[in-house]
Amino acid sequence: MAAREQKDVAILAIESSCDETAAAVVRNGREVLSNIISSQIDLHTLYGGVVPELASRKHIERMNQVIAGALAQAGMALKDIDAVAVTYGPGLVGALLVGVAEAKAIAYAARKPLVGVHHIEGHISANYIENKDLEPPFLCLVVSGGHTHLVKVAGYGAYEILGRTRDDAAGEAFDKVARAIGLGYPGGPKIEQKAKEGNPDAITFPKAKVADNPYDFSFSGVKSAVLNYINGCHMKQAKVPEADIAAAFQKAVTDVLVEHAMMAVEEHEIRKFAIAGGVAANMALRCAMEEACKKRGVEFYHPSPIFCTDNAAMIGTAAYYEYLAGNTAGWDLNAVPNLKLGER
Ligand code: KG4
Ligand code: ZN
């Protein structure tokens, strides 16, 4: 399809890849007119993590109200919308299907173009919302519950993955460690809170290096080290120092993320660095990254916490640039649970 001419473009965006049912209206990619998020955290907390089938069922229950809410908050009806966007991967297949089927039905009925968005592209694009001057090229660290990617954003929709996790995602490690020390789900914010009462230097957890790609990450080692440490406490019938564990674990993960990110910054002639994804809401990570960037004279970008964790505004932002490039989807758009960044 030919690239479109630039004019005011309002996009209704839908996100349902995991445990957040979300819809938003975004104008011209960077102006969020509404952002409705219906979280399922209370439901999944009962099970200590996301139960995929329950997530799909909740999306079905809530999707229509969430979309109605997003349109109402934006003061718009479907006729005012230029395109309907939806996350079609990666994520939980049943959860994705709810959003994809809904977006197709709305777009078909309202005769609007449909735009399929990659979830990680959404996370990266969250940085455009509050940083109106940010434009590619820049480097971005995406750290979420399902992904840990160090990405070179060469242009809108143009991504080069420099490094990724070989095992657990950073957020997944936070969630597993939080469960091990009895803090509950989701672990990231709970660890961050607990870490404030602890000493990050009280325990040293390992920082894994991956031999053949210095940009790749591995978090299963630090997670196992925490579990072994806790077992050791139980064996000695000693009290588990939860706050020190949280602080030391958070430091181990943060240090590795900052080291790899700054290695990429130093090896690329790009003076802009951004973070994205749920773990980017972590203040310890943000402060460490900001300081490291400042030291190197690199401009640092991050979304507000509400745009770090899953939301549909970021999907509307990413969709805008896809729409401008003429990348609309057909009526055969399907959920792709393992969709790779940069693939269509
Ligand atoms: O981006 P997101 O909402 O969903 C995925 O795409 O995975 O990320 C959720 C992840 C969870 O693992 C959660 O524990 C983590 O982000 N997270 C945090 C914080 N807030 C959310 N991790 C560390 N510190 C936080 N404040
Ligand atoms: Zn996400």
Strand residues in the chain grouped as ranges (E)? 10-15, 20-27, 31-39, 83-89, 114-118, 138-143, 148-155, 158-164, 272-276, 299-301
Would strands 272-276 and 138-143 be described as parallel, antiparallel, or unpaired? parallel
The alpha carbon of 222 and the centre of ligand 1 are apart by a number of angstroms equal to 18
CA 239–ligand 2 middle distance (angstroms): 35
Q: Which amino acid is at 143?
A: V
Strand order in the sheet with 272-276: 158-164, 148-155, 138-143, 272-276, 299-301
The whole-number pLDDT of residue 131 equals 98
Let me know the angle formed at the C-alpha of 101 by 99 and 102, rounded to the nearest 5 degrees.
Answer: 65
Token pair for residue 173?
Answer: 């490690």
Q: Average pLDDT in the 215-224 region?
A: 95
| Res. 210: pLDDT tops 70 | yes
Q: How far is the CA of 73 from the centre of ligand 1 (A)?
A: 26
- 209-224 burial, b for 16+ CB within 10 Å, e for fewer? ebeeeebbbbbebbbe
Report the pLDDT averaged over residues 12-21: 97
Q: Can you give the pLDDT at residue 4?
A: 55
Ligand 1 nearest-atom number relative to CA 123? 1
Residues with CB under 5 A from ligand 2 (ion): 144, 310
CB 244 within 8 A of CB 292: no
Protein residue with least CA distance to atom 11, ligand 1? 145
Output the pLDDT for position 6.
Answer: 59
| SS3 state at 241 | coil
pLDDT for residue 240: 95
Closest CA to 23 of 55, 58, 57, 64: 64
Q: Look at residue 223 and tell me whether its pLDDT is greater than 70.
A: yes
The minimum-distance atom of ligand 1 relative to the CA of 172 is 12
84-142 pLDDT, tens per residue? 999 999 999 999 999 999 999 999 999 999 999 999 999 999 999 999 999 999 999 99
Atom of ligand 1 nearest to the CA of 187: 14
Cβ atoms of 206 and 176 within 8 Å: the answer is no
Average pLDDT over the chain, rounded to an integer: 95
Tell me how far the alpha carbon of residue 106 lies from the centroid of ligand 2, in angstroms. 23
Is the distance from CB of 179 to CB of 187 less than 8 angstroms? yes
78 burial (CB, 10 Å; 0-12 / 13-18 / 19+) is middle
Protein residues whose CB sits closer than 6 Å to any atom of ligand 1: 18, 144-146, 171-172, 174-175, 186-189, 192, 277-279, 281-282, 309-310
Cis peptide before 305 (omega within 30 of 0): no
pLDDT number for residue 291:
98
Mean pLDDT of 280-286: 98
Per-residue model confidence as pLDDT tens digits over 39-90 = 999 999 889 889 999 999 999 999 999 999 999 999 999 999 999 999 999 9
**What is the rounded distance in angstroms from the CA atom of residue 13 to the CA atom of residue 84?**
6
pLDDT at 209: 77
Residue 330 has pLDDT above 70, yes or no: yes
Ligand 1: residue of 144, 172, 285 to mutate (most ligand atoms within 8 A of CB) is 144
Nearest CA to ligand 1 atom 1: 278
Ligand nearest to the CA of 144: 1
